[in-house]
A = this chain, B = another copy of it.
Amino acid sequence: MPLPKFPCCPLAESQAKRERRKEARPGELLAAALDLFVEKGFAATRAEEVAARAGVSKGTLFLYFGSKEELFKAVVRENISGRFTEWEAELNNFTGTTPEMLAYAMRSWWERVGMTKASGITKLMMSEARNFPEIASFYQAEVILPGHQLIRRILERGIERGEFRVLDLDHAVYSVIAPMIFLMMWKHSVGACAPASFDMQPDLFITQQIELLLNGLTGKAERAVTRPPLSSQP
């Protein structure tokens, strides 16, 4: 029941700055929380720190998220969003070979997830799953399961079309996923405090990983390694 606002006097705009901030707050807080949770873990991150990084006071944090745990859940949910439907559509329209398709999937995963802050969520879940079983199962349903199915469909297509040999699909899915998970974990742990000696160039890794996945260590190098511009969906 808000009292009617009279727009005659030019209040319309003046209300705006604060309003805009109010709408931006949750996002700023979630971003700050993601950073810190990824960096230090849930327990070691103090609520006040999150608030400070978002440029607000402790109290404000609790205005938007009822508790630290709710904040955690929100961080996970926020960064999950059904990217999968969009993705699946893209792949359904894919007309190239299945090796190209797999390569495309892995590269665009890197660009859209691995490379971004969203990758921190995986680190977070891996580190904290046991402390938040409820969230963990939510994550499984929303991320892991759809991800598996997406990869599985690619592999099935390859097998159907005679491009891939027949193998245990369930575990093959893990073989495709493993290097991605690894990359995210590495980036947010060792990678974040490693000396240059352990420097890894993720897209080089991804590229070669695709190559190996397709042709193996004993195979002969294929043209696939020469990476086509990522956006040139064939």
| Chain A interface residues (CB < 8 Å from chain B) | 3-9, 39-44, 99, 102, 123, 125-131, 133, 136-137, 140, 144-145, 155, 158, 163-168, 170-172, 174-175, 177-179, 181-183, 185-186, 188-190, 192-195, 197-198, 200-201, 204-205, 208-209, 211-221
Contact = CB atoms under 8 A, between A and B. Distances in A.
Given A168-B204, A182-B182, A127 B189 contact: yes
B220 A165 contact: yes
7 closest cross-chain pairs (CB), A and B: A216-B216, A43-B43, A178-B182, A127-B127, A8-B8, A215-B216, A129-B189
B170 A200 contact: yes
Contacts of A172: 208, 212, 217
Main secondary structure of the interface of A (DSSP, over half): helix
A129 B190 contact: yes
Contact of A218 (B123, B125, B164): B164
A4 B164 CA distance: 64
A186 B57 CA distance: 37
Contacts of A175: 179, 205, 208-209, 212
Contacts of A212: 167, 172, 175, 213, 216
Contacts of A128: 41
A186 B171 CA distance: 13
17 contacts: A3-B7, A99-B218, A102-B217, A126-B185, A129-B193, A155-B217, A165-B219, A168-B204, A172-B217, A174-B182, A174-B205, A175-B208, A175-B212, A178-B179, A178-B209, A179-B179, A218-B219
Contacts of A189: 125-127, 129-130, 136
A40 B130 contact: yes
Given A170-B200, A178-B179, A193 B130 contact: yes
A4 B43 CA distance: 34
A19 B150 CA distance: 59
Contacts of A201: 171
B127 A208 contact: no
